[in-house]
Structure 1
Amino acid sequence: MLRRAAESELAAGRIDNAAALSRDALVRSPFDVRALRVLGLTEARARREDAADDILTLAGNWSLRDDPTHAWLVERRLRRGDYASSFAHADTLVRRREDIQPQVFQLFTLAAAEDPQRSLPVVARLLAADPPWRTAYLASLNHTPQGLQVAANLALLLEAGRTPFTNDELQRLYSALNHVGGIGSIQTVRGRLNRPPLDTAVTNGGFDETDHPGPFQWRLYEKAGIVAEIVADDLRPSNPALRVDYDGYATGTIVEQLTYLTPGSYRFTAVVRSETGSPPARLAWTLSCATGGGDKASIPTGISGAAANTWVNLSGRFEVPAACTAQWLRLETRADDRRTPSSVWFDQIAISPVG
């Protein structure tokens, strides 16, 4: 009852009464966290902030669930430039309360943008612990140029640790960078992270690697008349490959991924197998500039005289012009005026410089 009275007096601004009542409450119940918090806040209102800091630090250590205590400590430590302690108390708050996440996230981002040398490592350490708010915070960074810069720096800091950006987190970052700064922004961050490795022109060309983020990973499309899936090869069950069912009439992209090739001559290679029908004449691998402009290179998938259900080599040559800094590699349809259902397999997709 004394503690509730002390809280009421503090809320009414009667500081001396609140201090006296909270001390009486603590005499009777020395471990009453809320009474201790009221006492600490009365010291702060009386401008005895060092004493308030000692008292409220004790209250915060006693209870991780006392929000007013941790909120005061966040502000106090931040004014003193102690990011580690301030953000640790902020972490305590956002683990429990989703309603205050936007304000705390803004605090993290503003500090990381304006004082990156001191605050970014602190935010990275919090994220490295994989807190329940990590996904929400990283998603919040993808909406502004300032947030994207912070997200890119955090990705670099976390990459060498035990909890680097997941493929989903990195894919969302790449997508946001593309929306704000274009293809070049993605390449800058990818180059520093080396995810996926820069020395690979086609990511997951064997369809057996899942640990890569989009858009540098195969994106499969499905629509009426087109079904694409990565499944075990029925002739070699230990080997996954791309299987396409196509009705010969629908139009569209079947699979795609983004790649970065420097200007010059290249050779596209793959292996292909017709399972049913005659799909090669109706499909083609294409390479087009992601930034627009330039001619689209097209490599038909048909192999003259190839036997059914036999893997055969596919090859084609193309040029990347000087103004084309990034490219989309796609498998596209070449529709006929009537339906001719067929099934085809692809594997070992690769691009290599000529010479």
Structure 2
Amino acid sequence: MTAVQIIAILGLCWLVPKLADVKIAPITWAALLVLLATLLMPVFQLVPLPWALWTELPGRELAEAIRTRSGLANSASPLSLRPEATLQDLLALLPPAAAFVAVLFLDERGRMAVLRALVAVAVLNAVLGALQLAYGGAGLFAVFHSAHRGDALGLFVNHNHSATFLLIGMVASGVPRLFDGRGRTAGQWPVAVGVATLLALAVLGTTSRTGLLTLPIALLLFAYLRFPHGWRWQWGLAGALLLAAIVVGLAQTPLAQTTLARFAVVDQDGRQTFWSNTLYAIGRYFPWGSGFGTFTTIYPTIEPLDQVVVPIVNHAHNDYLELALEGGFPAMLLLAAALSLAVFAWLRALSAPPADRWQSRSLTIAAGGIVAIVLLHSADDYPLRMSAIAVPFAACLAMSFPRGRRRHARPGRPAWRWVRLVPAMAAGLLLGWQAVSMGVASFFLLRDAPGQAVRWRSGSADAWSRIATQRAIAADWSGSADAARIALERAPMDAAALRALGLAEAAAKRMDVAAQLMLLAGQLGWRDIPTQLWLIQRSNEVEDRVVVAQRADGLLRQNTQSVLLLGTLRDLLADPAGGIAVAKQLALRPPWRQAFLASLGGDGRVRGEEIAALYRQLAAAGAPADTAESAALLDGLWRAGRYPEVEAVWRAAGGEKLVGDGAFERSGSAPRGIGPFTWQAPGLLGANVGIETPDHAWQGKALLVATKSIAAGPAVRQRLVLAPGRYALRFMLRDGGKAATRPSWAMACAPAFSTDSPSLPTAWSAAQRGWVRGEARFEVGPACPAQEIRLIVTPMQGVRSLWIDEVSVARMPSK
């Protein structure tokens, strides 16, 4: 990235002084002024402001409190809450700015060459994406490590960005004479159609929903550009039918099916919540914004606990909202001005007579279409944050404006040339040094060498924050505090630096100050692990159970410190207030909820009444734990021999009957449950057990037991907790064999669960549709605290299949 920025700086230093040598239309000058204002906006955000003025800016309350508690009050601060990131955003604007200015100098032939280059790279991206699909996203062709590995990423990390670039290439490939600049058009359309088809298939390979939705727009633009004279109603009808047939055919492919399936979970990808939270943040920082590049600093401060996920939210997935947050009203005003100028210039170019046009109509339409597609994608993602898309976007945007025309030669004035060149060279040297120093500092930070990084960027808050952490690990508390204050002076909302300062104050036994600093660090989000652990420990000491449960919830949602934090939450159950606090977090149904419930069964310190109380609180909160969710907990209690508690939890989880899932409607396709009250197949040799729907079903699904002649013994079992007394085990059976060969049931007692328990005598009665009723009676004594019922099959000639349904256990009246 640094190399690209250096090239852009050199290009701007060479091109900008030449603007005085060409004749530029007023609308193009207006566009250049908007571009200059765009580049200056981050500069203005970096200008230090007096403390009194800075504290009056909206949204600075938390940053002001941090600087005050850190001893940094009354010092000048820039508008941006993260100046280093703002400077990075400024440097990232230089490549598209250079592309915009460069294209203004190009004639139609040069602009066609730009589109050819885009098409060539798009084809390369498509081919590489196809190879990645063929190799499963691994191996030599996996260019980058990505969460979207397995999709056709091509040269990109994000499948949405790859789709955007492919669509750019598709629209560009529709421009006539693109594949032969010498004017021969006879053999061009098959090549263009082939390229567009390849790129369309590659878009499907990305599995990008946004790409799939905008693919028809790109195809229509391609068709209009490539066949501008074929848009009669007959051709339109034929084309529509052909397109419909292609769409139907492609919809049946695995790639299309994968993409379409992703629309079913569109409400689960988090974008709507990102947008809602970003809108809230905009309201806090409007109208001046928080500073470019500060999204990842601001978003954690307003991120709701129940939306914390493992990957951080790095962007709003809507560039317009993110721009409004970081740049405020001035940025939105510049955006409106830029779009208005672009639309006006584009319409003017299309409406101008042929003699006055600066380029072909098809080139203008293609450039406008590319700009529109990228702007559409920006409403659902952040393609313009990628230089690989921002540069083509800027180049195509420039094609909407009249190109500069060289003025008539005039006598040279060397002194005037130097007046123009010297400021450009000075600005270039300054920007170049900033790009190089930031690139080298980032290189050292990636290698965990912040000391080397500050030699290149003495003002790098990230480097000083890392140094503060390293010194804290080495117990150099004074040095850690000094480094932390340097970082906070430059970036007051740096969570790691604030935490390092708080720990340094705690090491110095200034606990009141430390607590205040760590509480402020906690307000910067849920993601700094040491901060959250410190706050959990401190809250435990002051018996603030609610804070302990909330902070533990925030960390567990990030899959960190799970063993420690689950133990902390289990300890809270011993206190009534703590149990209520834990239940409140579990009622939100966090991803760690089932793991926590399962852990209760293996912790002997947690009493049965505490578990029962937790279940009652969950039910009262409208988020009861069901029997499936409680299976692992029941298994743990069973293995520990805590049979009375097994029954209590089973009832609290909604278990109403004495046997679990006797109708086999909730056990999936095979009896593979864990713990009591679930059906389990012990793996009897010669027997295959499954749960299916028979042809002549008694009622829905049933247990299917297919046996061979060698099968003899228990085919399926379930463990129960029955109180002493007399019981009847009833079931339905469909089997074509004789009564003597029908299966039977056996009952074994805990803790031994004898393997040679005798079969229970069964009484049979006829039913309907080939089914018979069976009833086996047995008695549970005081020495039998838990039981296991087993379905016993007997050997017989050949292969047979039998169905079992409606298994129930009922208590019989005493004799």
Residues 1:327 and 1:242: Cα distance change in structure 2 (over 3 Å): same
**What is residue 308 of structure 2 aligned with on the other side?**
none
Match of 2:664 among 181, 197, 207: 207
User: Displacement of 1:179 after TM fit?
Assistant: 1.8
User: Displacement of 1:234 after TM fit?
Assistant: 0.6
Check the 8 A contact 1:140/1:147 in 2, yes or no. no
**Aligned ranges 1:279-318 → 2 under 5 Å:** 281-291=741-751, 296=758, 298-300=760-762, 310-318=770-778
**What is residue 590 of structure 2 aligned with on the other side?**
131
Query: In the alignment, residue 677 of structure 2 is paired with which amino acid?
Result: F
Structure 1: 5+ residue stretches without partners: none
Check the 8 A contact 1:171/1:215 in 2, yes or no. yes
User: Displacement of 1:68 after TM fit?
Assistant: 2.9
**What is residue 69 of structure 1 aligned with on the other side?**
531
Tell me, in whole angstroms, the C-alpha distance in 2 between the residues paired with 1:293 and 1:68: 49
User: 1:230-281: per-residue Cα shift (whole Å, max 9, x none)?
Assistant: 2212124863222222224322212222344454444443332224x54751
Query: In the alignment, residue 716 of structure 2 is paired with which amino acid?
Result: V
Residues 1:260 and 1:17: Cα distance change in structure 2 (over 3 Å): closer
User: 1:282-303: per-residue Cα shift (whole Å, max 9, x none)?
Assistant: 5212334345699745135877
Tell me, in whole angstroms, the C-alpha distance in 2 between the residues paired with 1:135 and 1:279: 45
Match of 1:256 among 711, 717, 736: 717
Match of 1:88 among 528, 542, 550: 550
Check the 8 A contact 2:638/2:676 in 1, yes or no. no
User: Displacement of 1:174 after TM fit?
Assistant: 1.6
**What is residue 217 of structure 1 aligned with on the other side?**
678
User: 1:299-335: per-residue Cα shift (whole Å, max 9, x none)?
Assistant: 35877xx899722333444444454444332210233
Tell me, in whole angstroms, the C-alpha distance in 2 between the residues paired with 1:280 and 1:137: 48
CA RMSD of aligned residues (A): 3.7
Which secondary structure does the structure 2 equivalent of 1:124 belong to? helix
**What is residue 142 of structure 1 aligned with on the other side?**
601
Which secondary structure does the structure 1 equivalent of 2:617 belong to? helix
Check the 8 A contact 2:626/2:653 in 1, yes or no. no
Check the 8 A contact 2:505/2:511 in 1, yes or no. yes
**What is residue 51 of structure 1 aligned with on the other side?**
513
Q: How many residues align?
A: 344
User: Displacement of 1:172 after TM fit?
Assistant: 1.6
User: Displacement of 1:21 after TM fit?
Assistant: 5.1
User: Displacement of 1:154 after TM fit?
Assistant: 3.6
Tell me, in whole angstroms, the C-alpha distance in 2 between the residues paired with 1:345 and 1:54: 67
Check the 8 A contact 1:283/1:334 in 2, yes or no. yes
Q: Report the structure number with the largest CA radius of gyration.
A: 2
Q: What TM-score does the superposition give when structure 2 sets the normalisation length?
A: 0.37
Residues 1:91 and 1:244: Cα distance change in structure 2 (over 3 Å): closer
**What is residue 165 of structure 1 aligned with on the other side?**
625
Tell me, in whole angstroms, the C-alpha distance in 1 between the residues paired with 2:707 and 2:735: 12
Check the 8 A contact 1:253/1:330 in 2, yes or no. yes
**What is residue 117 of structure 1 aligned with on the other side?**
576
**What is residue 56 of structure 2 aligned with on the other side?**
none
Check the 8 A contact 2:627/2:653 in 1, yes or no. no
Match of 2:541 among 79, 83, 88: 79
Higher relative contact order (CA 8 A, sep 6+): 1
Check the 8 A contact 2:681/2:716 in 1, yes or no. yes
**What is residue 808 of structure 2 aligned with on the other side?**
350
Identical positions, percent: 30
**Larger % of helix: which?**
2
Match of 2:655 among 196, 200, 203: 196
Which secondary structure does the structure 2 equivalent of 1:181 belong to? coil
Q: What TM-score does the superposition give when structure 1 sets the normalisation length?
A: 0.78
Structure 2: 5+ residue stretches without partners: 1-457
Check the 8 A contact 2:502/2:514 in 1, yes or no. yes
Which secondary structure does the structure 2 equivalent of 1:329 belong to? strand
Residues 1:349 and 1:32: Cα distance change in structure 2 (over 3 Å): closer
User: 1:184-213: per-residue Cα shift (whole Å, max 9, x none)?
Assistant: 44224335x16411xx34443333355998
**What is residue 340 of structure 1 aligned with on the other side?**
798
Residues 1:293 and 1:340: Cα distance change in structure 2 (over 3 Å): same
User: 1:90-135: per-residue Cα shift (whole Å, max 9, x none)?
Assistant: 333343353x32233333333434xx22322222223332333334
Tell me, in whole angstroms, the C-alpha distance in 1 between the residues paired with 2:491 and 2:811: 78
Tell me, in whole angstroms, the C-alpha distance in 2 between the residues paired with 1:79 and 1:307: 66
Which secondary structure does the structure 1 equivalent of 2:770 belong to? coil
Residues 1:53 and 1:222: Cα distance change in structure 2 (over 3 Å): same
Instruction: Answer yes or no: is 1:240 the counterpart of 2:701.
Output: yes
The answer to which of 290-299 and 168-177 deviates more is 290-299
